[in-house]
Chain A
Amino acid sequence: MRYPHLFAPITLNKLTLRNRVVSTAHAEVYAEPGGLPGDRYIRYYEEKAKGGLGLAICGGSSPVSIDSPQSWWKSVNLATDAIIDPLARLAEAMHRHGAKIMIQATHMGRRSSYYGEHWPHLVSPSGIREPVHRGNAKVIEQHEIRRIIADFAQAARRVKAAGMDGIEISAAHQHLIDQFWSPRTNFRTDEWGGSFENRLRFGVEVLNAVRAEVGPDFCVGLRMCGDEFHEDGLSHDMLKDIAAAMSETGLIDYLSVVGSGADTHNTLANCMPPMALPPEPFVHLAAGIKSVSKVPVMHAQSIRDPVQAERILASGMVDMVGMTRAHIADPHLVIKIRDGKEDQIRQCVGANYCIDRQYHGQDVLCIQNAATSREATMPHDIAKADKLRKVVVVGAGPAGLEAARVARERGHEVVLFEKQPQVGGQIVLAAKAPQREQMAGIVRWLDMETQRLGVDRRLGVAADKAMILAEKPDIVVLATGGIPYTSQVPDWGVEEGVAVSSWDILSGKVEPGKNVLVYDAVSTQAGFGVADFLSSRGSTVEIVTPDVKVGDDTGGTTFPIFYRRLYAQGIIPTPNFWLDKVYAEGDKKIAVLRNEYTEALEERAVDQVVIENGILPNDSLYWDMKELSKNQGQTDVHTLFASQPQPSLSQPLAAGEFLLFRVGDCISMHNIHGAIYDALRLVKDF
């Protein structure tokens, strides 16, 4: 028997889960106006149910009160009876596939932004501002406490009425309940602060009210932190005492534990551990809580692969494993484990594209799976085509690999040309950066899938027009990516060899210099990655950007990791400067910088100047072939954006005729998700 612990059912109160795999509560940013789950929301969860998971807890941080804002991040709104019908539809969809569904309920207290919607005055035990959200708050008053406790009970009533399987109360990530717990935020001297019992009072009263509303048989869970990682915050020992006390109440059926506080940028980055952190970095905190808990313990944080999950369960550290991002990357994870298809799991690499978007108020998307949360239009399982064609894909970066994979899944004969000896395109370089190695996991899956499916891969072959036409293709997909856009400013001197590109450094073509200036004009992961790459090899590095801060276009869980390394390694951050010119003087390179706001010029004398300026589309093959193609290389955006087949696909092709399309960076610079989405939405209809 494989995975005996992973596939052992567990019963929480009266709720039996078919296995130990949970999609834990996270903000989806999919709710329809008013905070109601719609078709997209339900399909997103239903896909996981189809995929075999035991329990999904939806609606991360769904507020129970109208003074806990939800609209700016499209959260589920539990403060209204209108939620009952949509939740009922969700529950029915999940139950149809044998999965269970709960929802997280909370009041965020100070952990929000006051502007927008009702412009509420946020409440917190002692009115201390929350730094990350700039959450200015007032001191919560007695009548507000009573109202919010009643709001929790009303929310629980709605959840139960909808036929959901349970409700999880959040006391994690510095929501209102743990704002009462934490010495960092609760300085009250009344019955709601001070002693251990007083600080726990609010949470216990919430649970009492909820339990009174839903009765003894309904599953009620509590999510809590295992250590806030702040000197003035809740320590692991304090939280163990709290966990013991909460499990002692008999009001809850499980405890869900996460590591790290979340009210600073640096602690927030721990909550959804990015690839830089080791696997399951905080499981020991959950295990510590389990040692004092009378109820089962759930834990989610970087549990991404089945063997790891089984090991954690088998060692007895926790009773249920949250594999939440793992399900965003592959909602069919559990069935693939069950059916011995572990190699076919699209494994989460911890790139945190999902959560970084969420912190910008954008809908959660997966960097590698463009079908996730687009289930209405994008297939997770690709159906076979009626009419089989010959498809030639040029370029085996993410766009080309995805195009080849999808075309092959459709049943077409697929030839994939790649001029490099290995697949992966720019991701191969991205994975060279320190602590970014797991980016290669995105390629690994596409690499294995294209091989498993039998794509005819011609690696190390730079395809030209003649070679492509010799394949007698029906469809040609160009995914030729780009080249470093160092030509934008001739004065940078890259042509003359005065400055080099970030690709030159990451690929190993150019040795790192001793004293290096990295100029990052785009502020994505790439610029900091090359700076870190150089610094890690002993270079003294200054990173210069015209943006307001270094790494400005990386998300809330990504830039803190960069900054930890930046300060630890002494990389000098210089934002707000343009690079005007680089010239050689003796054995030094002189970089001329210009301040964005003062126009003042500065010079640096360094050994090496490295330019990261994104890419220029590599489109020469496109212009070579455009005129020859039946569709003149055109992609119809109306049908593309409507997820409909390209009109040109329905026209008969005479002998020698072919259709030509492009995907990814060879059109213009996008990111990995953009490249993969380009390929999926186009090729799914071939």
Chain B
Amino acid sequence: MSFSLAHALTGLFWLGALLLLGGLARRASLWQQGHSASVSWLGLLAMPKRYFVDIHHVVAREPAVARAHVAAAGGGVAILLLSALNYGLMLYQGWLDVLLVLMAAVMLLGARMMQARRLQAPPRLSQGRWQVLPARLRLFALGSLLAAGLLFAGPQMGMAGQLIAVAALLMLALGGAELALGIGLGWPMKHAVAGLLHLAFHPRAERFAGKSSDLKPLNLAAGELGVAKVEDFAWNRLLSFDACVQCGKCEAACPAYAAGQPLNPKKLIQDMVAAQSRGTDPAYAGNPHPGREAAVVVKPGEDIVGSVLAAETLWSCTTCRACVENCPMLIEHVDTVVNLRRHVTLSRGEVPGKGSEALANLRNTDTVGGYPLAVRYHWAIDLDLPVLQPGDQTEWLLLAGEGAFDMRYQRALRALVKVLKAAGVKVAVLGAAERDCGDVARRLGDEAGFQRLAKANIATLAQYRFDRIVTPDPHVFHCLANEYPAFGGQFEVWHHSKLLEHLLARRAIPLKADATPLPPLTFHDPCYLGRYNDGFNAPRNVLKGIGIKVVDMQRSGRDARCCGWGGGAAFTDIPGQRRIPDMRMDDIRETGTGRVAVACPNCTAMLEGVVGERADVIELAELVAERLA
């Protein structure tokens, strides 16, 4: 009996392995629809570190789930490895059976925890096959436990033993099918295989070496115009979609989804899966894009946008990276959104709302709002800021950005200049030579417009000598610091929060001596400073440095909710149930401080645009200026 059980297990193991390989081959053929990408096979070696360190950073934010996954997945992987040795290679060692029983017990526990969580599943979790997966994993674990136990116990179990052995084999077959067939048929356990390969061949592999949030240039000369169809994605991008576990953490973090705009980032990724699998995968069983049907009809050969994906979904994204930040599978949603937008913008010219006007303004005036460049520094006319002429030199070059055209934000700019002057910082501006940084153009998919502006600005900046650039606009900061290097622009760029922090730390800013306690306030993290550039501490240190206590919102730091401006969303203005800045104002209200500090011209505008009773919106530099001696 034991002899036959052992051999049955061997057979089952190799059957499963074959099915898995076959399924993988089928899946790989789907990924092969995509174009080639330069990947390093060394990524396979880096996989364990990426799995145990990078993924763990994300998963560990939910400790109970992390523990359950460690138990279930760790137990499962151990069972597979031990089974491979013991049954696959037919070693049939009793001590391996004991280890198997132990690992199966661990997996059983993990699967049990997952099943318990499924009883009160948060709405972000997909249902369908995902809902029954823990039970199948329990079957597999139980089957393993029973089979290994029987083998270790030997043949003396008799009839009961035979019955248990048959049951165990059935359980193993049923449970193991999740993995063996999952990859080929697009079942949940697909994630285990695709996820691991995704780690190895990640389209943004540099994120494992440090922060990486820049958009990648299109090779316009080579005719790249973004993604229209599945085959316009790189193959490893298609692979990345298959890594999705439909946990919905992106959905829970997405400001557009919360506002009832027709974007659910989880669904967006699943739409891409549906597109590449041509609808052969099981039906999606999660929340739809708000206000839309969950079902999609895939018409092979058609453009993704307009068939699988509605344009409104694409344009609802604020590129805030809350989804990316929260994705345990390290999927890069924003890259995909922008890649799809590039096609819609560059090939079709179908930018909705005021987006096309903004792009036309940029083409015609080099400003988003259609202003003459000469008026950008009108607010500074009485501040005696030196305007650099070609060949001039300065320590700090201030780039005011588009906010310089907004009268409200000019107040913040004046405050900043006042503080810098009080601190003895030598700062100059470009005057009419400053063009838009290209952020809006790039996020709206106008890669050509962005590249034109980036190259023009780089050429302009080359005419002056300066030590560093400082800007209060996180979008300018991000573009120059992270996206201009691809075009040969290497500048040391500081967001003003960092400079203010630096000056305060050196006690270079003369502050009022009086110790009147200042009322506390809350701080709204700008996405392009925070999540994009890890600039979480500098603004808080500035506030601390001037004696203001920060009462953080529930969603702050990495989890901060976007103001709704980014990615050109303020221009495309896709309707939803609510406005994102209104929700953010609710977050602010919850702190009870009645005041919010901001560090971005666009957050300033969005939050001040909230109608009705609202908190006071004060720019960081204004708060420092108020404290000047």
Residues of A within 8 A of B (CB): 1-4, 7-9, 16-18, 98-99, 338-340
Contacts and interface: CB of A to CB of B under 8 A. Distances in A.
Nearest to A49: B382
A2 B605 CA distance: 13
Contacts of B382: 18, 98-99
A99 B383 CA distance: 10
A8 B407 contact: no
Contacts of A9: 378, 381
B383 A98 contact: yes
A3 B407 contact: yes
9 contacts: A2-B407, A3-B407, A7-B379, A17-B381, A18-B378, A338-B411, A339-B407, A340-B407, A340-B408
A99 B381 CA distance: 10
Interface in B395-444: 405-408, 410-411
Contacts of A340: 407-408
A18 B381 contact: yes
Given A98-B383, A338-B410, 17 more contacts: A1-B405, A1-B407, A4-B371, A4-B375, A7-B378, A7-B379, A9-B378, A9-B381, A16-B381, A18-B378, A18-B381, A98-B382, A338-B407, A338-B411, A339-B407, A339-B408, A340-B408
Nearest to B370: A1
Interface in B362-402: 369, 371, 375, 378-379, 381-383
Interface of B: 369, 371, 375, 378-379, 381-383, 405-408, 410-411
A16 B405 CA distance: 19
Nearest to A4: B375
A340 B408 CA distance: 7
B407 A7 contact: yes
Nearest to A335: B411
Contacts of B381: 9, 16-18
Nearest to B382: A98
A498 B411 CA distance: 63
A1 B406 contact: yes
B375 A8 contact: yes
Contacts of B378: 7-9, 18
A274 B79 CA distance: 95
A338 B371 CA distance: 18
Nearest to A17: B381
Contacts of A2: 407
A53 to B, nearest CB: 11
Nearest to A9: B381
Nearest to A338: B407
A7 B371 CA distance: 14
A101 to B, nearest CB: 13
Contacts of A17: 381
Nearest to A52: B382
B141 to A, nearest CB: 64
Contacts of B408: 339-340
Secondary structure of the A contact surface, majority rule: loop
B311 to A, nearest CB: 30
Instruction: Among B382, B405, B406, find the residue whose CB has the most chain A CB atoms closer than 10 A.
Output: B382
Top 6 nearest A-B pairs (CB, nearest first) are A98-B382, A18-B382, A9-B381, A18-B381, A1-B405, A2-B407
Contact of B371 (A1, A3, A16, A98): A1
B431 to A, nearest CB: 12
A50 to B, nearest CB: 12
Contacts of A98: 382-383
Contacts of A339: 407-408, 411
A339 B415 CA distance: 13
A73 B383 CA distance: 37
A634 B382 CA distance: 49
Nearest to B407: A2
Contacts of A3: 407
A191 to B, nearest CB: 45
A208 B555 CA distance: 70
A17 B378 CA distance: 10
Contacts of A18: 378, 381-382
A267 B501 CA distance: 62
A467 B382 CA distance: 53
Contacts of B411: 338-339
A327 to B, nearest CB: 17
B381 to A, nearest CB: 4
A501 to B, nearest CB: 44
Nearest to A98: B382
Contacts of B406: 1
A377 B484 CA distance: 56
Contacts of A338: 407, 410-411
Contacts of A4: 371, 375
Contacts of B383: 98
B375 to A, nearest CB: 7
A9 B384 CA distance: 13
Contacts of B379: 7
Residue of B369, B378, B383, B406 most packed against chain A (CB within 10 A)? B378
Nearest to A11: B381
A8 B369 CA distance: 16
B540 to A, nearest CB: 26
A2 B406 CA distance: 7
Nearest to B371: A1
A1 B605 CA distance: 12
A338 B411 CA distance: 8
A391 B70 CA distance: 67
B586 to A, nearest CB: 23
B403 to A, nearest CB: 11
A72 to B, nearest CB: 37
A269 B531 CA distance: 64
Nearest to A339: B411
Contact of B369 (A1, A16, A99): A1
B516 to A, nearest CB: 10
B619 to A, nearest CB: 12
Contacts of B369: 1
Contacts of A16: 381
A7 B375 CA distance: 9
Contacts of B371: 1, 4
A479 B379 CA distance: 44
A314 to B, nearest CB: 14
Nearest to A100: B382
Contacts of A8: 375, 378
A551 B395 CA distance: 67
A340 B371 CA distance: 20
Nearest to B404: A1
A3 B406 CA distance: 10
A3 B410 CA distance: 13
A18 B378 CA distance: 7
Nearest to A95: B382
B368 to A, nearest CB: 11
A18 B379 CA distance: 8
B497 to A, nearest CB: 23
A16 B380 CA distance: 12
Nearest to B380: A18
A45 to B, nearest CB: 16
A565 B406 CA distance: 47
Nearest to B410: A338
Nearest to A16: B381
A336 to B, nearest CB: 11
B296 to A, nearest CB: 43
Contacts of B375: 1, 4, 8
B251 to A, nearest CB: 37
Interface-centre pick from B407, B408, B411 (highest chain A CB count, 10 A): B407
Interface centre among A3, A99, A338 (most CB of B within 10 A): A338
- B371, B379, B406: which has the most chain A beta carbons within 10 Å? B379
Contacts of B410: 338
Contacts of B405: 1
A337 to B, nearest CB: 8
B379 to A, nearest CB: 8
The residue among B379, B381, B405 with the most chain A CB atoms within 10 A of its own CB is B381
A2 B379 CA distance: 12
